[in-house]
Amino acid sequence: MSDLQNDRPKAMQIHLNPKNIFWCCVVIGFVYLAILIWGKDDKFPELAVEIRDVISYAVLAVEMGGHAVAKIYQENSLNIKSKGNTDVGKEELLTRADLVSNHLILGLLKRFPAMNVVTEEKNEHMSESEVEKYRDDNYDLWLNVRGALEKIPSQKYDFSRMSIWIDPLDATQEFTEGLLEYVTVMACVTLDGKPVFGAIYRPFYNETIFGLVNWGLMNSQGEKIALKSPDKVPKTIIVSRSHTGQVKDLADKVFNGS
């Protein structure tokens, strides 16, 4: 009898390894997520942002870039280069101030990584040590700008509908010639491809003006600027010195030189 009992097959014993179970669950989880993501036509939800937040950083960006432009001019370290010729054959200049301002503005706008940012200058590599001394992280300036913009109505929009266009130093030619009244740093916010907000900073006059479509103009001290009626403003044609083209000849022809 004992011999028969010894001849019975022993029950199979399975030892489960907790580590293998864990990784098996992980793989199953990823497969399940993949099915959910690629097995449906639904897209990821859009990311939205308050337009007031975007324009407040646009104003801060032009002022930060402008402060750098003024400092570099005071140091007389322009490092003037040529970008080539304009459409009328005039040399188009590039300075160290263009690049430093551009670097600082793009760095500040990284707060909105999903935002499309368009700049006139190429983002040439500059080390942080090169630009750090020009970075003006003025908290009082930020509070001033933010306080002024609180008066502007705000609304949330998807990032995909918005872009920021910047010119880190407008009037570079005049900048190199010391005609500082023409020098500005500018930013424009567009919605669905149409401009809705603009900010202009004059670094050598410490003057900032910004405006929102259907709302009006304001300076960074929070003072609203009264607009003159178009009927009361003399008609003026403004032509760029470096991109004149045929504008002057055409204007003389149309207005008979008046």
Q: In this structure, is residue 258 part of a structural domain?
A: no
Task: Give a yes or no: residue 239 inside a domain.
Answer: no
In a domain, 5, yes or no: no
User: What pLDDT is stored for residue 66 in this prediction?
Assistant: 96
Query: Looking at the domain assignment, is residue 39 inside a domain?
Result: no
- Between 10 and 95, whose confidence is greater? 95
Alpha helix ranges (H) inside the chain? 2-7, 18-38, 51-75, 96-108, 128-131, 139-149, 172-177, 247-254
**H/E stretch holding 186:** strand 184-191
Residue 243 is assigned to a structural domain of this protein? no
Residue 150 lies in a domain: yes
Q: Which residues are annotated as a binding site?
A: 120, 167, 169-170
Using 50, 70 and 90 to split pLDDT, how confident is the model at 45?
low
Residues 6 or more apart whose Cβ sits within 8 Å of residue 136? 63, 64, 67, 68
User: Domain count of the chain?
Assistant: 1
pLDDT digits (tens, 9 = 90+) for 56-88: 899 999 999 999 999 999 999 899 888 877 666
Domain CATH for 77: 3.30.540.10
- Give the annotated binding-site residues for Mg(2+): 120, 167, 169-170
Question: Residues of the chain with pLDDT > 90: what percent?
Answer: 38
Rounded average pLDDT over 213-236? 81
Residue 251 forms part of a structural domain? no
Structure tokens at 165: 């266009």
Question: Is there a domain that residue 3 lies in?
Answer: no
Q: Is 90 exceeded by the pLDDT of residue 181?
A: yes
Question: What is the pTM assigned to this prediction?
Answer: 0.75
- Which residue would you say has higher pLDDT here, 153 or 69? 69
pLDDT per residue as tens digits for the range 193-203: 999 999 999 99
User: Which domain, by its residues, includes 87?
Assistant: 48-229
